[in-house]
Amino acid sequence: MIMDDRGSSFVAVRRISQGLERGNTYHSNSAEAVAGSAAWLGRGLSCVCAQRRESDARPSFDLTPSEEECLQRLQIRIDIAYNSSILEHQEALRALWNAAFPDEELHGLISEQWKEMGWQGKDPSTDFRGGGFISLENLLFFARKFPKSFKDLLWKQEGNRSAWEYPFAVAGVNITFMLIQMLDLEAVKPRTMVGAIFLKFLSEDESAFDLLYCIAFKLMDHQWLAMRASYMDFNTVMKTARHQLERELLLEDITRLEDLPSYSLLTR
């Protein structure tokens, strides 16, 4: 396990067998800790989200009053840390479990069961430090808005997968963090054209960040398969997905996020 500058961590998940059922037990050496259908490895990984770009020389873009209000509301969401003592946060976490595993009872908010979803340990709250409560909201939005795509990614049902796969849930937290950086959402005003364009979409649809998250997650997995990636390639895949997303946001004929070419990945 390695940490980024916000405390986020990333581990790799090994696909033991395409046909291995959840809930089965497997034992290996000390380098692997296995739960359900996944074995976990915490070596040699780094998180692309830790690479923060800061430059006072970047230009800023003026906002309309509506865009400014929407940005401030989104920044409030971004600033909320996950707190396991808050009932709303507990309920959101349970809702995520129920969306992912509707036929399996959750034994507790701290449980070995969470490893089945791709959390690094039995307490998901330790992984939310990198993305805050909004990263949980993003995952829950994805599960509710695009349940088929969510399940496809959770169970790695598409394409020829690597023997060592990225863990679904922790990757999701990394995508939240990546989008916050890419769109420069912690600045008072956007300092990139991509950020300015996104705020226009946000002013027209308050769920724009959540929707872009779903697009980004699906795009990342698409790039993962296209590059025949394994866990050591995660940084490269994330960078490639980010650059592709930036290029699509800058296309002239994009008037809403649903016009992005990668949006079609969610609906096919």
Note the helical H segments in 10-117. 65-79, 87-100
Q: Are 70 and 78 in contact (CB under 8 A)?
A: no
Half-sphere CA count of 153, side-chain side, radius 13 A: 28
In 3D space, the residue among 2, 15, 8, 25 whose CA is nearest the CA of residue 167 turns out to be: 15
In whole angstroms, what is the distance from residue 141 CA to residue 211 CA? Answer: 8
Q: Are strands 9-10 and 33-35 parallel, antiparallel or unpaired?
A: unpaired
State the pLDDT at residue 163.
Answer: 74
∠ at Cα 167 (120, 14), nearest 5°?
A: 95
Q: Is 235:44 a contact under the CB 8 Å cutoff?
A: no
Per-10-residue mean pLDDT for the chain, 268 residues long? 40 38 33 28 35 52 92 96 95 96 94 93 88 96 97 88 85 96 94 95 97 98 93 93 97 95 93
Given the structure tokens 């307490």, which residue do they identify? 123
Strand ranges in the chain using DSSP code E only, listed in sequence order: 2-3, 9-10, 12-15, 33-35, 38-41, 164-165
86: Cβ–Cβ under 8 A, 6 or more apart, which residues? none
Position 186 scores a pLDDT of 93
pLDDT the model gives residue 164: 80
CA 185 – CA 215 distance, rounded (Å): 18
Q: What is the pLDDT of residue 91?
A: 97
pLDDT of residue 165: 86
Rg of the chain in Å (alpha carbons): 18
pLDDT of residue 119: 94
Q: In angstroms, rounded to a whole number, what is the distance separating the alpha carbons of residues 174 and 127?
A: 10
Residue 199's identity, in one-letter code, is L
